[in-house]
Amino acid sequence: MSRAAEISDRAAELRRSFDMSFTAPARRDVPAAEDMLVIHVAEVPYAIRLACVLGLHADCAITPLPTPVPELLGIAALRGAIVPVYSLGGLLGHAVLRTPRWFVTTRAGRDGLLALAFECFVRQARIAAEQICPAPAPGLPCVRAAVRVDDRLVPLLDIPALVADIERRVRAGTPQTRSSGT
């Protein structure tokens, strides 16, 4: 067989293999995983599901507002939208840091956004499903699970629960600080 015939046969075999790959069932042996952000709030590590995050921002200016809610730091202009910025530390029972470096934006209400501010973005991590477990001890209502990151159990923040708590407090007009025991 000539070299040209060998190359032609090999190309035909590759085409058949490629075409057949679209008819094969999806692989089930790939473990499910979730992408998460690992952050620090008051030097305590937390994880956030990336699916709950619309954006990660650094060094944005905050315009303070008069408010009875101590966790509301003010508003910020993020990608053309005016967004309320809440201290994630304050919402979790830590001290309210007035000049945080990082924000994540998330959905609030039907069409709204809000930002949660914190001190330190550590990294993005892909966490295997078996590394997510129920929270080891009752604590904050917004922490219902924990994830194993670098051989350490880290609380997984329930961002929708945090947003619901903020919205409930805003509707009721009653400030309420959390106690995390830290």
Does the residue 25 lie in any domain?
no
The answer to whether position 44 is within a domain reads yes
Q: How high is the pLDDT of residue 96?
A: 83
Q: Is 71 exposed, middle or buried (0-12, 13-18, 19+ CB in 10 A)?
A: buried
- Domain of residue 155, residue span: 33-172
Q: Is residue 128 one of the residues assigned to a domain?
A: yes
pLDDT digits (tens, 9 = 90+) for 34-80: 899 999 998 899 999 999 999 999 999 999 988 888 899 999 998 88
Please report the pLDDT score of residue 63 as a whole number: 93
Say how many domains are in the chain: 1
Indicate whether 107 pLDDT > 60: yes
Backbone angles phi, psi at 147, to 5 degrees: -130, 150
In the chain, the N- to C-terminal Cα span, in Å, equals 76
pLDDT at 159: 92
Q: Coil, strand or helix: which one is 18?
A: helix
When the pLDDT of each residue in the chain is averaged and rounded to a whole number, the result is 84
pLDDT at 181: 41
Is the residue at 38 inside a domain? yes
The yes-or-no verdict on residue 182 having pLDDT over 50 is: no
Contact between 35 and 125 under an 8 Å Cβ cutoff? The reply is: yes
Establish if 141 belongs to a structural domain.
yes
Q: Which two tokens stand for residue 146?
A: 């924990």
Q: Which residue has better confidence, 182 or 100?
A: 100
Q: Give pLDDT tens digits for 1-37.
A: 688 888 888 888 888 888 877 777 766 665 688 899 9
Tell whether 18 is covered by a domain: no
What is the residue whose two structure tokens read 């309420």?
176
Does residue 13 belong to any structural domain of this protein?
A: no
Residue 111: CATH number of its domain: 2.40.50.180
Q: Are strands 33-41 and 44-49 parallel, antiparallel or unpaired?
A: antiparallel
